[in-house]
Chains A and B, each alone.
Chain A
């Protein structure tokens, strides 16, 4: 895909200003939740609100992470790629908090009950699986690991595709049957666009080998 526009942020500002601002913005949801708990503005069931919100922010950061390379291809904004690790790690950060809120505030570390949940409830199973797949990606996100793993690092990190899909499925299966799938549907559509763009790039050259008649 040809770049439509090509905006770049001048160098010292990208590293010194833009990136820190993105970092601070990424912490904002957590800060707002904390403020809400403290000020008691999260409604009648604040724990549910916190758990769900942390889960949704995990998905949002995963989708943002997946957005950066298509965004580069569409706009020529190459610097975005340099935010990818940070946003991916924020996805993991919110994922850890989401999991903790389930283990603590929902189950109070009742391991038998948690194990039962994982085994018996498909939406918990896929949620846990998504988290398990996210963990090695977070653990290999530093430079030495990237160097050491070489080509395998790329291969390993393609796990973001299935794990994000599992995360969306986790959200989808949580909803009451038909009634509340509207929000999960939005995530599913966004994911389908982001994955579809990649599939398109992968398939399109193969199709183009056969001559097209106009």
Chain B
């Protein structure tokens, strides 16, 4: 039986990741065997996570109709309208750079070794709104480790599909296409960093970044790159699309930080979609206990 733990853990209360993973595997196996034993059916429900928040979840309708995905247009309603133009099958992901096992993998081969789990995360957009989304997927670290990054791999960069025929927004020069994002290796390997393939128990809709997208809940939403076709392990901090577009406004780190304003608006508050009054924005989007140590000694005003 799974015991629900309070979300706000202190740093040393967080179980070492490897141990955590083994325990999870053990529990899953145990649970699976029990289920199979009892019903003769395989384990099908996604595992629940201690990283999940128990806050009220944003309605599916809002999550799937209010999107920033400039590949399909700059209006929030454009992705829901045009994202069906994107073909997500077949889909492949190229992995290259500083790793022992680069290659081009079919989506099926990417997903096969991973069991899906649910992560209910807060998502805070740099524009000042937020949602609570029940993602389905697997830890990014589990995926990255398969390619055996070398000691030279200090950063990992991601790219979204580039195909103006499928993504009409790319016909206009609103951003540097293809959309590119990146994480420092330790950020990428953090247990909160997540590869999502679904939400609300279903496969991702295209407007939410099908078939494979990143979710980094302590950073502004634009870091969580959608519809990934390329993963590169690199030695130098990679360029990002928004960083190239407006370096003074969108830094590489882009951690949610109520103390550091966007040049054009305050980040102290946010409107949770569906709520009337604004709520205070939390440091690292409320994940400070888990991730603050990644940035100890860094000036977060400079490294915005």
| Chain A residues at the B interface, C-beta cutoff of 8 Å | 43-45, 47-48, 106, 108, 113, 116-117, 120-123, 173-174, 176-180, 182
Contact = CB atoms under 8 A, between A and B. Distances in A.
Given A43-B77, A45-B76, A179-B74, 9 more contacts: A43-B66, A44-B62, A44-B66, A48-B271, A174-B264, A176-B245, A176-B249, A177-B245, A179-B70
A108 B278 contact: yes
Best-surrounded residue of A44, A116, A177, A178 (most CB of chain B within 10 A)? A44
Interface in B247-295: 249, 261, 263-266, 268, 271, 273-274, 276-278
A111 to B, nearest CB: 14
Given A108-B277, A177-B249, A179-B175, A47 B70 contact: no
Interface in B71-97: 74, 76-77
A121 B265 contact: yes
Given A179-B174, A182-B74, A44 B273 contact: yes
B53 interface: no
A121 to B, nearest CB: 6
A211 to B, nearest CB: 47
A113 B173 CA distance: 35
Nearest to A182: B74
**How many B residues touch the partner, as a band?**
20 to 34
A45 B74 contact: no
8 contacts: A44-B273, A45-B129, A47-B271, A116-B266, A120-B261, A173-B264, A178-B174, A179-B74
A44 B277 contact: no
Contacts of A48: 129, 271
Interface in B228-247: 245-246
Contacts of A122: 264
Best-surrounded residue of B65, B175, B265 (most CB of chain A within 10 A)? B265
A113 B266 contact: yes
Best-surrounded residue of A117, A176, A177 (most CB of chain B within 10 A)? A176
B280 to A, nearest CB: 12
A126 B224 CA distance: 33
B273 A180 contact: no
Given A45-B66, A117-B266, A121-B264, A176 B76 contact: no
Given A45-B129, A45-B273, A117-B266, A180 B74 contact: yes
